[in-house]
Structure 1
Amino acid sequence: MTANATSMRQRHAAQAVLEELFGDESHRVERGRLARVFGRPPLTPSGMAWYRGAQGEIAVGRMLDTLPGEWTVFHALPVGTKESDIDHLVVGPGGVFTINTKHHRAKPVWVANRTLMVSGQKQPHIRNAEYEAARVTKLVHARLGLSGRVLPVVAIHGAASIVVKERPDLVAVLDARRLRQWLLKRPVQFGPEELTRIVTLVDDPGTWRTTASAPCDQMLARFDELDGDVRRAATRRSLWSFGTLVAAGAALLVAAPPLLTAVFTSATTSLMP
Structure 2
Amino acid sequence: MAGRKQRHLYNSAHEAARAGRLLSTQVRTVVGVAGIVVILGAKGLTIKTPPTGTTVMTARQLLPWLARRPVVLGPRQITALSAVAARPETWRRTTSNLVDPGFVRYEFAKLRAAVESARRRRIGWVLGLFLGGPVVVNTLFYAFPLLVRF
Q: TM-score, normalised by structure 2?
A: 0.56
Cα separation, 2, equivalents of 1:129 and 1:195: 22
Shift of 1:153: 0.3
1:30-53, Cα deviation, whole Å (9 max, x unpaired): xxxxxxxxxxxxxxxxxxxxxxxx
CA contact under 8 A between 2:37 and 2:55: conserved in structure 1?
yes
- The amino acid of 1:152's aligned partner reads G
State the match for 2:67 in structure 1.
184
Cα separation, 2, equivalents of 1:199 and 1:148: 12
For CA contacts below 8 A with separation 6 or more, give which structure has more relative contact order: 1
SS across alignment from 1:154: strand
Shift of 1:120: 2.8
Q: Report % sequence identity.
A: 35
State the match for 2:13 in structure 1.
130
SS across alignment from 1:169: coil
RMSD: 1.8
Choose the corresponding residue for 1:149, options 32, 42, 54.
32
SS across alignment from 1:168: coil
Mapping of 1:165-244 within 5 angstroms?
165-208=48-91
Cα separation, 2, equivalents of 1:204 and 1:171: 25
Shift of 1:121: 2.1
Instruction: Select the structure that is richer in strand.
Output: 1
Q: Which sections of structure 1, spanning at least 5 residues, go unmatched?
A: 1-117, 211-273
Structure with greater Cα Rg: 2
Matched residue pairs, number?
A: 93
Cα separation, 2, equivalents of 1:204 and 1:148: 16
Instruction: Select the structure that is richer in helix.
Output: 2
